[in-house]
Amino acid sequence: MRISSLISTDAWSMEPSFDINSPAEFRSISLQIELKSINEFTWEMKLDISWETLRPDFNDSMKRFSKKVKLPGFRPGKIPKDRLMQQFQPNIEAQFMDDNIQKYYFNALQEKGLVPINQAEISDVHFHFGEHFSFTSKFEVEPEIVLPKLKKRSLDVQRTKFIPDQQDMDDAIGQLRKAHARIETIEDGAQEKDFILCDLQKLDDSGLAIIGKKFEKQLLKVGNGSFTNDQKEKLVGLKRGDMVRIDLPDERDETSKSPYELKVINVEREILPEVNTDFAKMVDPDLNSLDALKEKVQNKINENFSSRSQQSFERDMTDAMIAKVSPVAPYSMVDNYLTNLYEDVKKQNNGEDLDEEKVRETYRPAAERNLKWYLIRKRLIEDIRLKVERKEIDREIENLVKRTPASEKEIRKFYRKPSNRKRLEDDMMEKKILEYLEQFANVKQVEVHTKDIRGETHEH
């Protein structure tokens, strides 16, 4: 999942409700600021503002308050200050703090050159009319990343060369056969590997149908390693219109089973094409022999493993850089990342209820790792002044169009959307960063036989 889509800096900042660039709103204020570093990314800031400095802002708050108050004998905004303070002093003080605490906080941040990434915790607030105003804010900032001076061979990484075998070819041909299979309706009873199109009615323990738990037009595979494997004997031989009671994994708890009444709509069989010259032409009309198909498939297999090798190499390189810099990911960044990721996972599950704590716990290590790389990446871009020019993005889009001319209209429409152009820019920037780091890589070449990846024992 793309890091940039999960990082929302807007959610971290305590944005001001006023225009900080407006002199009227954000005038210079005399502040006593005491800063304390809690850790690499957490600051505690104590502010103290004298009454003389506060007085103009307090008077403004009192005027605004007076316009909202109705007192017999007085028009709104015309109540004498003494009467107003006598009757509403606690309310006016509260109004003043609401109006100004954020402003003083942002004044102090600007003065100290700090940019928070989360909403500050405000505590120890003190203010009464005629007295100083003080409060403490605690917030996080992005940690200062100091990059080490890289030398040749200072990043230990591994480049894997995958060695495919006949099984890879057989699996690829098998997938092509399935992609070009035809489905036939079977009348003489289901066999193993057939598919049963059926209606399923969930039953209670007494065998009665549970209202609202009927699932129509479900497709079940008969045995052959599917989840109906232990029900195979009940399914073999079924024909259109037959009914049988079977046990299937519960919809909420796959470790337990529930009874269902199954009614057969159709029995369907997958008929795979023979592997011959006709099959080769079916896959690609430009191929005139089975050998030509196998050559094309082998090239695709090699291309896929080469891509996998490159992805693994790049991951190794970024991990090596993370290990060398050893940054710390602020709590609020991790929390925000996991919140966005949880929402994405929920959307992918069509809004179904998920155990949020379990999702967060599962993805926390990946979130911390990705954010550490994000911080390093950001510093690298600044330090070595990397930039992706607009003309480079345009050129890349043209390259995409040349590679798939049939999709030119869709490609151009897709990249007219700013967010999609930004995504492409991010990908191109990542490539530039990795190319920069590669010059410092100490590469160890490793050969891996694909049968070992499949869990088979490789005999040397």
Q: For residues 143 and 195, give the distance between their C-alpha atoms in angstroms, rounded to a whole number.
A: 57
| φ, ψ at 175 (rounded to 5°) | -65, -40
pLDDT tens across 141-156, in order?
999 999 999 999 999 9
| Residues 273 and 183: beta-carbon distance below 8 Å | no
Task: Tell me the average pLDDT across 288-293.
Answer: 96
Q: For residues 379 and 372, give the distance between their C-alpha atoms in angstroms, rounded to a whole number.
A: 11
The pLDDT-based confidence of 304 (bands split at 50, 70, 90) is very high
The secondary element (H helix, E strand) that includes residue 87 is helix 81-112
> Which residues, 6+ apart, have CB-to-CB distance to 246 below 8 Å?
228, 231, 234, 235, 259, 260, 262
Q: For residues 296 and 228, give the distance between their C-alpha atoms in angstroms, rounded to a whole number.
A: 36
**What's residue 29's pLDDT?**
59
Short-list 99, 97, 106, CA closest to 127 = 97
pLDDT at 436 over 60: yes
pLDDT at 346 over 90: no
pLDDT tens across 15-60, in order?
433 343 443 344 455 789 999 999 999 999 999 999 999 999 999 8
Task: Tell me the average pLDDT across 109-130.
Answer: 94
pLDDT at 75 over 80: no
Tell me the percentage of the chain whose pLDDT exceeds 70.
Answer: 91
Higher per-residue confidence, 454 vs 41: 41
Q: For residues 269 and 186, give the distance between their C-alpha atoms in angstroms, rounded to a whole number.
A: 7
pLDDT tens across 375-407, in order?
999 999 999 999 999 999 999 999 999 999 989
What is the fold of 182-271? Answer: Chitinase A; domain 3 (3.10.50)
pLDDT at 409 over 60: yes
- Domain spans in the chain, listed from the N-terminal domain onward: 9-140, 143-178+288-324+386-460, 182-271, 327-380
Q: For residues 79 and 67, give the distance between their C-alpha atoms in angstroms, rounded to a whole number.
A: 9
Q: For residues 342 and 53, give the distance between their C-alpha atoms in angstroms, rounded to a whole number.
A: 46
Task: Tell me the average pLDDT across 203-232.
Answer: 89
Which CA distances in Å does 165 have to 263, 349, 355, 429? 44, 37, 42, 36
Tell me the percentage of the chain whose pLDDT exceeds 90.
Answer: 75
Averaged pLDDT score across all residues of the chain = 89
pLDDT tens across 176-202, in order?
999 999 999 999 999 999 999 999 999
Domain made up of 9-140: CATH architecture = 2-Layer Sandwich (3.30)
Q: For residues 348 and 199, give the distance between their C-alpha atoms in angstroms, rounded to a whole number.
A: 26
441-449 and 155-163 strand pairing: parallel
